[in-house]
Amino acid sequence: MKNIGFIGVGTMGLPMALNLLKNGHALSFYDPFSDKKTIEALTEVGAKQESNIPDLCKSQDFLISMLPIGKNVKDVALGEDGIINQDNTDLIYIDMSTILPADSIEVSKQLQTKNIQMFDAPVARLVNNAIDGTLLIMVGGSLQDFPKVEEILNCMGSDVVYCGAIGSGSKMKIINNYMAIVSNILTAETLSLVEKSGIDQKLAIELMSTTAAGKGHMNFSYPKKVLIDDIGPGFKNVLALKDLRLAIEHGESEGIELTSGKSVVNVYEKAMDTKYKDLDWTAMFNFVKESNNLD
């Protein structure tokens, strides 16, 4: 059993804290915005409510935060009454908020001046997964000391993945969300075009699930081509641009503005004056890297 202090028992934090209790750990919590129902849900199963961070830090093995933004994390960690100014420097601080990696790195560096170790461990998946203890948790911090936090994190997630040095958990979370959030709009535009075009939605989804459109390039086209250094033309970029323009023109005729597609046209057009024009469409990975001075 470990003594754990938890800061931020909101929509995700509450079930995560409850799962720590279910796994036999002693838990104290602090959240000035928690309502009566939340407080009762925790205290009824043995958690102790604290009125401030200094009291929460006393005699803890671990301190976990699940907060909305980076400023909240900085206040909790580095503020006048923050973790950095408490006597208990033996605790390990795990921040599970989704914040800028630079914020995680900055907080960690300052805590290190007091020999307080920090891990960033943002989560993915939904509230139901927080309730079930099946979150995906992406962890950044010391690899040598990762086993110290892994047992605690396993109480809240079914997939706890070490991603690298401090800040790497936040980086991986943001990268994952970037693709998911941008793809969400692309999916919404695509299905709107399906509907407006008079195509049966079920048919369209079943059909596209057999191509890169539905399988996703990471699962379908990239492993077979660019990721094994094969960019010989299977589907040329010049043809991809032609088809993209056709889709945008068709969307306009149907009264659907394909904003995502229009933004991508610019990238393909820049490639038309380079060697990538007649290479495979997955070679755009290399083009984007070159454009950003990664090669």
Banded model confidence at residue 24, pLDDT cuts 50, 70, 90: very high
196: its two tokens: 């407006």
| pTM of structure | 0.91
CA distance 204 to 206: 5
Contact 57, 63 (CB under 8 A): yes
- What DSSP assignment string belongs to 7-35? E--STTHHHHHHHHHHTT-EEEEE-TT--
CA distance 8 to 34: 8
Domain 3-165, classified CATH 3.40.50.720, yes or no: yes
CA distance 239 to 259: 20
Distances (CA, A) of 233 to 225, 246, 267: 10, 21, 18
Banded model confidence at residue 163, pLDDT cuts 50, 70, 90: very high
Q: What is the mean pLDDT of residues 279-291?
A: 96
Asked if domains 3-165 and 173-291 share a fold, the reply is: no
pLDDT at res. 89: 85
Residue 94 has pLDDT above 80, yes or no: yes
Class of domain 173-291: mainly alpha
5: its two tokens: 């202090």
Nearest to 120 by CA among 148, 145, 101: 101
Task: Centre a 10 Å sphere on the Cβ of residue 4 and count the other Cβ atoms it contains.
Answer: 24
Q: Are strands 135-140 and 123-124 parallel, antiparallel or unpaired?
A: antiparallel
171: its two tokens: 């980086």
Strand, helix or coil for residue 139: strand
pLDDT at res. 271: 97
Residue 295 has pLDDT above 80, yes or no: no
> pLDDT tens digit string along 218-239?
999 999 999 999 999 999 999 9
Residue 259 has pLDDT above 90, yes or no: yes
> pLDDT tens digit string along 96-120?
999 999 999 999 999 999 999 999 9
Domain ranges of the chain: 3-165, 173-291
Helix, strand and coil content of the chain, in percent to the nearest 5, comes to: 50, 15, 35
Nearest to 133 by CA among 162, 154, 107, 160: 154
Percent of the chain, pLDDT > 70? Answer: 100
With residue 121 as reference, give the H or E element that holds it.
Answer: none
Residue 236 DSSP one-character state: B
Residue 124 has pLDDT above 80, yes or no: yes
Q: Which sequence positions are flagged as catalytic?
A: 173
Average per-residue pLDDT in the chain?
Answer: 96
Query: Within 13 Å, how many C-alpha atoms sit on residue 273's CB side?
Result: 4
Sign of the four-CA dihedral 272, 282, 172, 210: positive
113: its two tokens: 């001046």
